[in-house]
Structure 1
Amino acid sequence: LEKWMSDIQTQLRLLIQQVRALHDAEEVVGFGPFLYVYIARSSLQSLAFRNPQFALLTARYLLTMKAAFCPKMGRKRVVKKMPLVLCLDSITEENHIFLVGIPPLQGEDDRNLFGQAFAAAVRSSGARAKLKHFDTNFHNEP
């Protein structure tokens, strides 16, 4: 039990460091109606994203931190009402990307429709996609 607790504490520290590093480097940018974060394979942060749940938690906390420290982007775009897409290069496969979609923190509807949006983008672009996680807001794009 002690080893398990120690491992969890280490993972939480790593999560906090990742979110802080991405926020401090101003990696979160406004891209049309949503926020976008791209993490290259060569980045040190990419090593931590082997677990989809870790990527999901990082994206969620990054959106929360961005909304707390920078509530508006421009005059009309409120960060709490913008979704976030985390995009990172796959560690295991060349020419693949891993996408995580986080719905807005505040809005009329709290459903996560990124799975449907990703599937529609795959159909319209002719790209190939592999669903490698039970949650539909995760997609691995070749």
Structure 2
Amino acid sequence: MKRLKFLLVDDSPSTNFFNEIMIKKTAEYEEIQIAKNGEDALERLNSSFIPDVILLDINMPIMNGWEFLEEFQNLDARFDNTMIILMLGAKLSTDQKELITTIPNVRGCIEKMLTKDMVINIVTKFREKTLLNKCESILD
């Protein structure tokens, strides 16, 4: 079974540290990279790194999650199978929820700090390709 590559995109070192530890303890992974904002994440994607899963914070300096998603949609087909999960610390507006449904790679939303169950669910859903392309479940 393929080991997954993760990209954690968050401006909080403590959140990245915690989420990285949770992935390492829970999932069979090949690689975990950390980016401190959307610009840093795009630089990593423009190298040879192709993550299977991107865990993306929305509120970050320099380039926020929305700006990253806009740029991500312009990347080439190498990233067609990359699954993006939004890491949320607050509820999304109705407009933001509608926007998410238009971005094929966004496959779900979860609370900002990962739990063992969340990691298992992400890995399972990646393998099954069944996460919904909306974020209603934890936001309503």
TM-score (norm 2): 0.31
Which of the pair has the greater relative contact order for Cα pairs under 8 Å at 6+ separation? Answer: 2
TM-score (norm 1): 0.31
